Every structure is written in structure tokens, then in C-alpha cells.
């Protein structure tokens, strides 16, 4: 293996090739960066992330962000283009005032209250992931930034300039029977003109009650399961509406509700609602043409959603997902044909043991497998046999080694 090249002191943008480089990230020569062909992103995080992070840095370590300044893409743009950082150092904000960042994803993990004035920053897309924050973040945004918030939205207060685009990915329950999630009051962010709300098709729905607080909204994009569709009628200024991966459109107002609507997309949506929308689009076209690309496509029957999205392995990579789904199918078939409690137990234990020794099973994957076991406990035949959720979970725990 070749010795890493020390790039400290090299001019900004002078290093464009792949290879092994010595970086003074947390101290002189503290890290070795392996730059690979075709990669424009970089992941920084604690050692517990293992191979998922390119560079290991403890959560509370201070980072010397200018260590990356010598690097550029072959075309001359700053490299890395996208940085995914898991830690508490906010020095990237000041660094970006001198060196623009195309996309920065920040996943802090602090328990206190912190305030960051990011007005000098030059970050095109800032993603803030709040899953590990038990305290509160108060951030002042710069101009010309798109903002994405993930996790518990009550953990953050945002002020300053309005983001060009606000994307919200709230933390949701995995089970669709839960009461719909209500968006918290987001204060100044409710003045945005462009909003994207992300959920999951088969999970806790997001309630649209209170959407009228976004009084300046002109462009709205919705992904996943939603409730209280009628609330959209309180957004008379909508010019663009996009609805994707939505299994139930019951209560959605007619398109004529929005007199300024110039663009509508319905993709991968409820079959019955999609047919109504197609008819409304045709009727509107006769009166006034759509100004932007508009369409309704990929209409889905109710049973399709459960078969496509109902399983908990959608985030797994291809090989692991295929193996998990094969085991899921076999377990479900065995459970639906089980004649005794012992047969049901055997099916769950075989399913649990399938993953023993499989590489890549960490906390998130274990929770996904456990969710599958919960789904098994809800099958009609399993309930008829008198198997409880607690029993199924206990059999799962006894059989697994992950």
C-alpha cells in the first residue's frame, strides 16, 4: 500500500486525482483520506459507524474544515461536493463563507441548547438530521439556501432568511393505524413559498390540519400517507401541487379549488382518487390549458400498497432485501398454514435464525426484522391460535444472536 500524500499547505483546488491523502482534520496528520474514482461525497462520523463513514471523528471533536481546501473535482469544482457529517462541530458554517458547499448533511448529537448564526454560510442545500438531538437547536439561516429537516421537528427553531425550498421529513411511527402526525408550529419557516412534506406510503399518516399556517405557499409537494386532505382548500394561492406515492386520496379537494393552479402531478397514487383527478384535469384543460407539465399516472389498487411497501425491508440493499423478503414469504406462508402454537413458534424462530450470522445486521436492521415479527403476530391465523405480540417477540429474541 502506498504512503499517503501530505496535502497540507497545498493551494486550494490543486489536488484533483484519486489516491490516499494525509489530512490534518483534528490535528497534524490525524487522518488518511482514500479518494475513490467517481465519488463526489464524503461521510464523516464516529468510529461506531464503521465502514459507513469514510473518516472517523468523535462527535465532540473540533474539525479543521480547511483541511479539504486543496481538493477539487477534475472539472475544478470544490471537492467534496456533498458532505455528510455526524457530529457536533458547527465550524463548517464559517468555513463555507470562504468555500461554498453544494450540499451539507448535518446529524448532530447534543443534549443542550445551542444557537448557530449561519448567515455568513454559502451552502446550497443544508440537511439537518435531528434523530440524535435530545436538546434544542436554534439556527439563523443565510439567503439562497434550501433547507431539509429530518426527525423531531420540535427540536429546532429556524429564523433568518426564508429557504428557497423547505423539505420536512418528520419522525413517524411505522404502523399505519396510529393517529395522524400533527406538524408543530414552525414559526418563521411558515412563511416559505415552496414546501415538500415527506412521509411513507404504509406508515403513520401526516395530518394536513394547520397547513393554512403556510399562508404564502405557492408550491406544495406531498409524498406518502396523509390525512385531512380537505385542509388543502385553505391554501387558495397554490400554483403547483405534486402528490406522489399516496395510497389514499379520500377528501382531496377538487382541482378547481385552486384558481391559480398551473401545474399538477399525481404519480403512484390511489386508483380511485387518481381516476377522479384524471377526469378533473381533462375538464380543466377544456377551460384553460395547464401552463406547466401536468399528469396523473401509475394508479394503484389497495392491495398493491401492502405488497410493495408493507414490508420493513425497503431501505435494505438489494442482496440483503432479497434474502429478507424470501425469508418473510416463507414465514408468512408457514404461519398462515400453522395448525398449532408450536408450528407458529417454529415459523417465527426459523425466520429469526435466518439472519443469524448475516453481515450488516445492526440496530436499524434488527428493528426492521422485529417489525416483521410484529406483522406476523397480527396475521388472522396467528391471532386465532392465541399467540400474543409478546409471545412472538419473545420467540424472536430467544432465536436471534444479533
Give the model confidence (pLDDT) of 140-194 as tens digits: 999 999 999 999 999 999 999 999 999 999 999 988 889 999 999 999 999 999 9
pLDDT (tens digit, 9 = 90+) per residue, 386-400? 999 999 999 999 999
80 preceded by cis ω (within 30°)? yes
Say if residue 274's pLDDT is above 90. Answer: yes
Mean pLDDT of the chain: 95
Section 235-254 average pLDDT: 97
Angle made by CA atoms 304, 309, 314, in degrees to the nearest 5: 145
Q: What is the pLDDT of residue 297?
A: 97
Residue in the structure block whose three cell numbers are 442545500: 125
pTM of the prediction?
Answer: 0.89
What is the reported pLDDT for 112? 97
Q: What is the model's pLDDT at position 90?
A: 98
Provide the CA 341 distance to its chain's centre, in angstroms: 39
CA gap 184, 171 in Å, rounded: 12
Beta bridge partners of 236: none
pLDDT of residue 212: 97
User: Any idea what the Cα angle at residue 94 is, between residues 93 and 95, rounded to 5°?
Assistant: 90
What is the pLDDT, as a whole number, of residue 177? 87
- 39-43 average pLDDT score: 96
Residues pairing with 235 in the sheet: none
Q: Is the pLDDT of residue 1 over 80?
A: no
81-96 burial, b at 16+ Cβ within 10 Å, e below that, comes to: ebbbbbbbbbebbebb
With a pLDDT cut of 90, the percent of the chain lying above it is 92
Please answer whether residues 195 and 169 qualify as being in contact, where contact means their C-beta atoms are separated by less than 8 angstroms. no
For residue 3, the model assigns a pLDDT of 92
Q: Evaluate whether 225 touches 244 at the Cβ level (below 8 Å).
A: no
User: Residue 311 has what pLDDT?
Assistant: 86
- Report the C-alpha gap between 350 and 327 in whole angstroms: 9
What is the band of 48 on the pLDDT scale with cuts at 50, 70, 90? very high
pLDDT of residue 154: 97
Amino acid at each position: 500500500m502506498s504512503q499517503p500524500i501530505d496535502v497540507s499547505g497545498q493551494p486550494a483546488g490543486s489536488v484533483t486525482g484519486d489516491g490516499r491523502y494525509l489530512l490534518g482534520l483534528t490535528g497534524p496528520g490525524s487522518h488518511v483520506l482514500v479518494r475513490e474514482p467517481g465519488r463526489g461525497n464524503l461521510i464523516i462520523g464516529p468510529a461506531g459507524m464503521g465502514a459507513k463513514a469514510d473518516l472517523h471523528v468523535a462527535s465532540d471533536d473540533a474539525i479543521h474544515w480547511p483541511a479539504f481546501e486543496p481538493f477539487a473535482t477534475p472539472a475544478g469544482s470544490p471537492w467534496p461536493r456533498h458532505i455528510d457529517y455526524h457530529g457536533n462541530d458547527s465550524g463548517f458554517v464559517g468555513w463555507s463563507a470562504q468555500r461554498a458547499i453544494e450540499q451539507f448533511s448535518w446529524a448532530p448529537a447534543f443534549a443542550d441548547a445551542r444557537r448557530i448564526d449561519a448567515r455568513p454560510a454559502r451552502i446550497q442545500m443544508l440537511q439537518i438530521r435531528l434523530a440524535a438531538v435530545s436538546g434544542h437547536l436554534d439556527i439563523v439561516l443565510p439567503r439562497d439556501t434550501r433547507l431539509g429537516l429530518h426527525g423531531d421537528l420540535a427540536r429546532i427553531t429556524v429564523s433568518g432568511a426564508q429557504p428557497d425550498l423547505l423539505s420536512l421529513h418528520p419522525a413517524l411511527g411505522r404502523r399505519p393505524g396510529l393517529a395522524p402526525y400533527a406538524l408543530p408550529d414552525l414559526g418563521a419557516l411558515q412563511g416559505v413559498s415552496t414546501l415538500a412534506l415527506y412521509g411513507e406510503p404504509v406508515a403513520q399518516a401526516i395530518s394536513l390540519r394547520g397547513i393554512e399556517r403556510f399562508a404564502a405557499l405557492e408550491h406544495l409537494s406531498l409524498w406518502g400517507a396523509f390525512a385531512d386532505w380537505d385542509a388543502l382548500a385553505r391554501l387558495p394561492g397554490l400554483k403547483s401541487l405534486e402528490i406522489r406515492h399516496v395510497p389514499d386520496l379520500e377528501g382531496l379537494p377538487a382541482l378547481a379549488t385552486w384558481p391559480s393552479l398551473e401545474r399538477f402531478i399525481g404519480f403512484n397514487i390511489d386508483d380511485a382518487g387518481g381516476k377522479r383527478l384524471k377526469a378533473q384535469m381533462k375538464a380543466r384543460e377544456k377551460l384553460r390549458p395547464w401552463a406547466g407539465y401536468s399528469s396523473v399516472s401509475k394508479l394503484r389498487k389497495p392491495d398493491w400498497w401492502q405488497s410493495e411497501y408493507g414490508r420493513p425491508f425497503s431501505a435494505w440493499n438489494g442482496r440483503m432485501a432479497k434474502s429478507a423478503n424470501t425469508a418473510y414469504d416463507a414465514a408468512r406462508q408457514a404461519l398462515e398454514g400453522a395448525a398449532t402454537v408450536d408450528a407458529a413458534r417454529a415459523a417465527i424462530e426459523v425466520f429469526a435464525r435466518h439472519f443469524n450470522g448475516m453481515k450488516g445486521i445492526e440496530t436499524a436492521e434488527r428493528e426492521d426484522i422485529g417489525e416483521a415479527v410484529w406483522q406476523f403476530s397480527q396475521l388472522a391465523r396467528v391471532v386465532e391460535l392465541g399467540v400474543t405480540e409478546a409471545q412472538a417477540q419473545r420467540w424472536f429474541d430467544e432465536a436471534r444472536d444479533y
